[in-house]
């Protein structure tokens, strides 16, 4: 982290398009040198937020500060900000070299300096062999790297990335995730990366801001978001396969609490909860925290029946019927062999990893 001079501060930003409120009091802060991800579904307002930071959208409320300067007054060119769009359109009639050089020429950078910077960026992104070719002759991954290079060649202090991997195939997405981490490490640049893909956000972001309907609703490290989602919305956005949510009721018992669930009762004495009893709740357990077999030291056990199996590659997802309640369990592929539909099994819910939410508000209880 740097001296904070290039922190990005977004405060209560509102942006409307006619009757649609795209940003509805959005606030978050990105520290200088940080890799920050905005994670939100389609239409959450990710693109609008990045465009507003770039100066491409006028705000209807709130403010954006970068390096202590209010961006409303700053000219777009002088912001020290570059954005990579989801559709990384290159200039098709210009060679890769000319695509890199163009923004610098427009900014009046001397020819010698342009040559040096283009060489540096081409090396950094490993596209030196493509410099004299037209974009249409490059692979999708190479085109993407050139688009990144074209943003980096201006040496922005802040790089905005809007779903830059969405149009790439799965293998390339995997490799490019690693590439972005490397670039961030080598350049020490502040990066703000918007994505609907929780895997991208959790693997790359040092912190992740989870978006819902034009706001950031929770900011935390990937690990903390996963371990303590503040509500059922965040719990559902973070972690794959998605968390199981089972309706239950809180009951007072011997001076403590228990949760009545469709398939049995769970002691809740260990949880610091402030309830009076009788509250409807949603009990959350991730498919990876439903354990196969009897593990009394890990948590309570139940009998279940395998309903369906879904191989996902290295893990298999099992749809279970636990005394009438549906629940999903994730197992390493080899451990799921032989567990076909109809198989009766024992499962244990890992007590340290379960979550409890208010049924009505969805807010986390424990």
Ligand X SMILES: Nc1ncnc2c1ncn2[C@@H]1O[C@H](COP(=O)(O)OP(=O)(O)O)[C@@H](O)[C@H]1O
Q: Which CB sits closer to Mg ion, 46 or 286?
A: 46
Contacts of residue 115, defined as CB under 8 A and 6 or more positions apart, other chains included, come to none
Could you tell me which stretch among 35-43, 199-207, 274-282, 328-336 binds ligand X (CB under 6 A)? 35-43
Least distance to Mg ion, CB of residue 17, Å = 13
Could you tell me which stretch among 14-22, 106-114, 115-123, 320-328 binds ligand X (CB under 6 A)? 14-22
Quick check: 353 and 286 in contact, CB under 8 A?
yes
Q: Distance (Å, rounded) from C-alpha 129 to C-alpha 139?
A: 13
Pick from 7, 33, 47, 245 the residue near Mg ion by CB under 5 A.
47
Pick from 2, 43, 70, 252 the residue near ligand X by CB under 6 A.
43
Least distance to Mg ion, CB of residue 195, Å = 9
* DSSP per-residue letters across 103-145: HHHHTT--HHHHHHHHHHHHHHTT-GGGTTS-GGGS-HHHHHH
Q: Distance (Å, rounded) from C-alpha 132 to C-alpha 129?
A: 8
Q: Could you tell me the CA-to-CA distances from 327 to 30, 60, 227, 305 in Å, in that order?
A: 38, 44, 19, 10
Q: Distance (Å, rounded) from C-alpha 150 to C-alpha 103?
A: 8
Q: Which CB sits closer to ligand X, 238 or 259?
A: 238
Task: Answer yes or no whether residue 45 interacts with ligand X by CB under 6 A.
Answer: yes
Contacts of residue 178, defined as CB under 8 A and 6 or more positions apart, other chains included, come to none
Q: Distance (Å, rounded) from C-alpha 297 to C-alpha 299?
A: 6
Contact partner, 192, from ligand X, Mg ion, none, Cβ < 5-8 Å per class: none
Task: Answer yes or no whether residue 44 interacts with ligand X by CB under 6 A.
Answer: yes
User: What are 349's strand-pairing partners?
Assistant: 290
Task: Answer yes or no whether residue 40 interacts with ligand X by CB under 6 A.
Answer: yes
Least distance to Mg ion, CB of residue 163, Å = 6
Least distance to ligand X, CB of residue 15, Å = 8
Contact partner, 48, from Mg ion, ligand X, none, Cβ < 5-8 Å per class: ligand X
Least distance to Mg ion, CB of residue 162, Å = 6
The DSSP letter of residue 45 is S
Pick from 2, 5, 17, 139 the residue near ligand X by CB under 6 A.
17
Closest residue to bound Mg ion by CB: 47
Least distance to Mg ion, CB of residue 166, Å = 9
* DSSP per-residue letters across 175-217: HHHHHHHHHHHHH--EEEEEES-HHHHHHH-SEEEEEETTEEE
Task: Answer yes or no whether residue 42 interacts with ligand X by CB under 6 A.
Answer: yes
Find the angle CA(355)-CA(210)-CA(213) to the nearest 5 degrees.
110
Quick check: 285 and 244 in contact, CB under 8 A?
yes
Contact partner, 286, from ligand X, Mg ion, none, Cβ < 5-8 Å per class: none
Task: Answer yes or no whether residue 22 interacts with ligand X by CB under 6 A.
Answer: yes
Q: Which CB sits closer to ligand X, 48 or 54?
A: 48
DSSP H/E element including 25:
strand 20-30
Residues that bind ligand X (CB under 6 A): 17, 20, 22, 40, 42-48
Binding site for Mg ion (CB under 5 A): 46-47
């Amino acid at each position: 982290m740097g001296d904070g001079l290039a922190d990005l501060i977004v405060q209560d930003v509102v942006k409307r398009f006619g009757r649609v409120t795209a940003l509805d009091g959005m606030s978050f802060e990105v520290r200088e040198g940080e890799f920050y991800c905005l994670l939100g579904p389609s239409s959450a307002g990710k693109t609008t937020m990045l465009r507003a930071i770039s100066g491409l959208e006028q705000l209807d409320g709130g403010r954006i500060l970068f390096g202590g300067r209010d961006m409303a007054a700053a000219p777009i060119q002088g912001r020290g900000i570059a954005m990579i769009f989801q559709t990384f359109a290159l200039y098709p009639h210009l060679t890769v070299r000319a695509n890199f050089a163009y923004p610098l020429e427009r900014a009046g950078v001397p020819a010698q300096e342009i040559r040096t910077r283009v060489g540096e960026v081409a090396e950094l992104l490993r596209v030196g062999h493509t410099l004299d070719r037209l974009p249409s002759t490059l692979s999708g991954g190479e085109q993407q790297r050139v688009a990144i290079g074209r943003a980096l060649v201006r040496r922005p202090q802040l790089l905005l990335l809007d779903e830059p991997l969405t149009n790439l195939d799965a293998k390339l997405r995997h490799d490019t995730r690693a590439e972005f981490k490397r670039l961030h490490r080598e350049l020490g640049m502040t990066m703000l990366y918007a994505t609907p893909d929780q895997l991208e956000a959790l693997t790359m972001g040092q912190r992740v801001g989870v978006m819902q309907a034009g706001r950031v609703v929770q900011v935390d490290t990937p690990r903390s978001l996963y371990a303590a989602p503040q509500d059922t919305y965040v719990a559902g956005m973070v972690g794959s396969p998605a968390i199981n949510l089972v309706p239950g009721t809180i009951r007072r018992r011997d001076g403590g609490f228990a949760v009545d669930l469709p398939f049995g009762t769970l002691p809740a004495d260990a949880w610091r909860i402030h309830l009076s009893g009788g509250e409807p709740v949603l009990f959350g357990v991730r498919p990876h925290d439903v354990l196969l077999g009897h593990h009394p030291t890990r948590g309570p056990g139940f009998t279940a029946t395998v309903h369906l199996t879904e191989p996902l590659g290295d893990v298999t997802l099992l749809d279970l019927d636990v005394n009438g309640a549906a629940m999903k369990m994730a197992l390493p592929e080899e451990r799921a062999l032989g567990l076909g539909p109809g198989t009766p099994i024992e499962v244990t819910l890992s007590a340290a990893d379960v979550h409890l939410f208010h049924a009505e508000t969805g807010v986390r209880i424990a």
